Amino acid sequence: MAAHRRPARTGVLLRAGRAAATGVLSLVSLAALAFVLPSTLGYERYVITGGSMAGTYDKGAVVFERAVPAADLRVGDVITYQPPPASGVSTLVTHRIIAITRDEQGLRVLRTQGDANPDPDPWRFSLTADQQPVAAFSVPYVGYGLIALADRDTRMLLVGLPAGLVALLSLGQLFAALRTRPDPALGGRVRTA
């Protein structure tokens, strides 16, 4: 009796599936490394969500910044900061320093402006921390993925879809294993149902 063989097409599909899974896992691993590596090298990352820095850092870019002593800030540096409470802006802002002056107490007062904005920001502020992140480089478009991950439904889809596929593949393998069983009449060789 001839031994039971899988059709050649099934073997090709299995190899293609394994190659695709390996490719996806490699991409996910590289993305995770790219996500973690800058932090280990001392960089903070910020996603540009507006157009005020268009031309320099377009919407969807990820800006990587390195903390420097606040006293070392210079006109022309691009910083990410929280505007003063009186400004009414509750999100972080990434803008260029256009002026540094001193107030009556001798504190450094900064004035910023977005590169794509026609006018300076209406507020002036002093930094309270000893360190301030300053833009070092950016990666365009990657921020769109991070913005999407901020959405709960998108995260559930990205986690749920692969988990569902793994569950389906596992069930398929379980059923295939249950269908094949040793046949004592064939000397322990496998017989399919």
Which residues are 46's β-sheet partners?
Answer: 63
| Domain co-membership, 86 together with 166 | no
In a domain, 120, yes or no: yes
How would you class 110 by CB atoms within 10 Å of its CB: exposed for 0-12, middle for 13-18, buried for 19 or more?
A: buried
Closest by Cα among 56, 60, 38 to 48: 60
| Domain co-membership, 53 together with 138 | yes
| Domain co-membership, 99 together with 71 | yes
Q: Going by C-beta distance under 8 Å and a sequence separation of 6 or more, which residues neighbour residue 183?
A: 189, 190, 191
The size of the chain, in residues, is 193
Which residues are 79's β-sheet partners?
Answer: 95, 134
In a domain, 7, yes or no: no
| Domain co-membership, 114 together with 177 | no
Backbone angles phi, psi at 112, to 5 degrees: -125, 165
Q: Which domain does 68 fall in, by range?
A: 43-145
In a domain, 31, yes or no: no
Model pLDDT, residue 158? 79
Distance CA 75, CA 79 (A): 11
Backbone angles phi, psi at 183, to 5 degrees: -110, 115
| Domain co-membership, 137 together with 180 | no
| Domain co-membership, 71 together with 89 | yes
Q: With contact defined as beta carbons under 8 Å apart, do 81 and 125 qualify?
A: yes
| Number of separate domains in the chain | 2
Which residues are 94's β-sheet partners?
Answer: 80
In a domain, 13, yes or no: no
In a domain, 37, yes or no: no
Model pLDDT, residue 168? 85
Distance CA 118, CA 143 (A): 25
* Three-class secondary structure of residue 48 per DSSP: coil
Q: With contact defined as beta carbons under 8 Å apart, do 173 and 163 qualify?
A: no
Model pLDDT, residue 189? 62
Closest by Cα among 146, 103, 148, 152 to 124: 103
* CATH number, domain containing residue 104: 2.10.109
* Three-class secondary structure of residue 101 per DSSP: strand
| Domain co-membership, 124 together with 174 | no
2 vs 76, more confident: 76
pLDDT in tens, 97-132: 999 999 999 899 999 999 999 999 999 999 989 999
pLDDT in tens, 8-63: 566 777 788 788 888 888 887 887 787 788 888 999 999 999 999 999 999 999 99
